[in-house]
């Protein structure tokens, strides 16, 4: 039999989705075929320590990675041979074929870890440095969508120094140009952290202050009232394909951090309740969005669908969507008959194919 694929599962991380990531890793470990893979597990603590876990069960049971979890602190040696090494034990080393960075949000899904994997010369699942970074920055992401003519709601961006210099002027301009109600979000985050909806001009300044607690710039955008929230999974490298569609019922004013992860009020409906022509448009725009920010492997593209034309508006793309078996991304592929385990195999194959293609390019100029 051919050698097993040495798969590094990297999970936990420094974002608000630390626990979600741990749950995803637990599910991936349970699903992969031991005859095909030789897994190595590294949990990243909230403070950024990479911990090698010979036995991940205590971490899986706790649902989080502590600074002293497992055996050793490790690092990905970027000096070229793609090994995992440790300063705690100079004899420790693990060769790797492919990394699955099951990390969400800043310092995981934003191109930083992807840059490290590039330097280490190791294959990895998902978007590269550029796609990850552009998709994590809502302003750059929306500019990339606009450049491809992908419909979206109107927005403006304000940075902290400009807002502090002229709070009233900014508020007046946003209300005049975009009109209430408005959504305010930090540009570089996720999980709805720092997001608010405002219905009055008086509340807008506070909402911008709140978003600017999490980032140096905030996006202010027109609310798409009465919209359906529709999500599409995209899979592939050069020829990405779109899944059937799912719908989120937020169970609250909007799909907030609480409704996503805490109070369980939100639910998923698959397939989304849409007419065929609208569903086809969403799927087409999902692939266009994937290409617009230069994604690879996987991404989930989120839309707001409303009654007025243009009916389909892209909201965002997530380059490492939630990946537990009950998350939208795997569930949408399950609709097509692709199991969770098959999906992981496919993602690993795509990572290896992309790496092989990159390795065949000349880097000498």
Ligand X SMILES: Nc1ncnc2c1ncn2[C@@H]1O[C@H](COP(=O)(O)OP(=O)(O)O)[C@@H](O)[C@H]1O
Which residues are at the interface with ligand X (CB under 6 A)? 153, 183, 185, 189-192, 195, 221, 223-224, 227, 229, 250, 254-255, 302, 304, 315-316
Q: Which is nearer to ligand X, 114 or 192 (CB)?
A: 192
Shortest CB 359 distance to ligand X, Å: 33
Q: Which is nearer to ligand X, 110 or 221 (CB)?
A: 221
Angle at 188 between CA 13 and CA 178, to 5 degrees: 150
Residue in the shown chain whose Cβ atom is closest to ligand X: 255
Omega of the bond prior to 181 within 30 degrees of 0, cis? yes
What's CA 343's distance to the chain center, in Å?
17
Q: Which helix (H) or strand (E) holds 169?
A: helix 167-178
Q: Which is nearer to ligand X, 97 or 110 (CB)?
A: 110
Helix axes 112-120, 129-136, angle to 10 degrees: 180
Q: Specify the 3-state DSSP secondary structure of 274.
A: coil
Beta-carbon contacts of 357 under 8 Å, excluding residues fewer than 6 positions away, are none
Q: Which is nearer to ligand X, 113 or 224 (CB)?
A: 224
Q: Which is nearer to ligand X, 105 or 128 (CB)?
A: 105
Beta-carbon contacts of 313 under 8 Å, excluding residues fewer than 6 positions away, are 151, 152, 153, 224, 227, 303, 304, 305, 306
What is the Cα–Cα distance from 273 to 279, expressed in whole angstroms? 9
- CA-nearest of 326, 300, 330, 332 to 315 is 300
Q: Which is nearer to ligand X, 97 or 109 (CB)?
A: 109
């Amino acid at each position: 039999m051919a050698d097993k694929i040495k798969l590094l599962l990297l999970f936990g991380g420094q974002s608000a989705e630390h626990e979600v990531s741990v749950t995803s890793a637990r599910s991936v470990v349970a699903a992969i075929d031991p005859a095909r893979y030789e897994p190595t597990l590294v949990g990243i603590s909230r403070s950024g320590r990479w911990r090698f876990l010979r036995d991940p069960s205590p971490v899986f049971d706790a649902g989080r990675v502590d600074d002293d979890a497992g055996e050793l602190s490790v690092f990905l040696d970027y000096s070229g041979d793609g090994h995992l090494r440790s300063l705690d034990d100079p004899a420790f080393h693990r060769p790797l074929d492919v990394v699955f960075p099951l990390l969400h949000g800043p310092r995981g899904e934003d191109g930083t870890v992807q840059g490290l994997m590039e330097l280490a010369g190791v294959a990895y699942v998902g978007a590269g440095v550029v796609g990850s970074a552009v998709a994590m920055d809502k302003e750059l992401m929306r500019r990339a969508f606009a450049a491809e003519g992908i419909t979206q709601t109107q927005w403006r961006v304000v940075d902290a120094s400009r807002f502090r210099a002229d709070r009233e002027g900014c508020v007046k301009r946003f209300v005049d140009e975009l009109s209430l109600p408005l959504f305010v979000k930090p540009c570089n985050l996720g999980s709805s952290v720092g997001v608010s909806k405002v219905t009055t001009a008086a509340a807008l300044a506070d909402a911008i202050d709140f978003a600017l607690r999490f980032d140096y710039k905030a996006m202010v955008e027109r609310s798409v009232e009465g919209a359906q929230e529709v999500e599409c999974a995209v899979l592939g490298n050069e020829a990405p394909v779109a899944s059937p569609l799912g719908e989120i019922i937020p169970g609250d004013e909007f799909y907030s951090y609480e409704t996503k992860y805490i109070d369980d009020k939100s639910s998923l409906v698959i397939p989304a309740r849409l007419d065929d022509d609208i569903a086809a448009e969403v799927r087409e725009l999902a692939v266009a969005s994937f290409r617009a920010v230069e994604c690879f492997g996987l991404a989930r593209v989120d839309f707001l669908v409303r009654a007025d034309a243009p009916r389909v508006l892209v909201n965002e793309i997530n380059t490492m969507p939630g990946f537990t078996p009950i998350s939208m991304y795997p569930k949408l592929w399950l609709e097509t008959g692709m199991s969770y385990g098959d999906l992981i195999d496919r993602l690993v194959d795509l990572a290896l194919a992309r790496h092989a293609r990159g390795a065949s390019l000349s880097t000498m100029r």
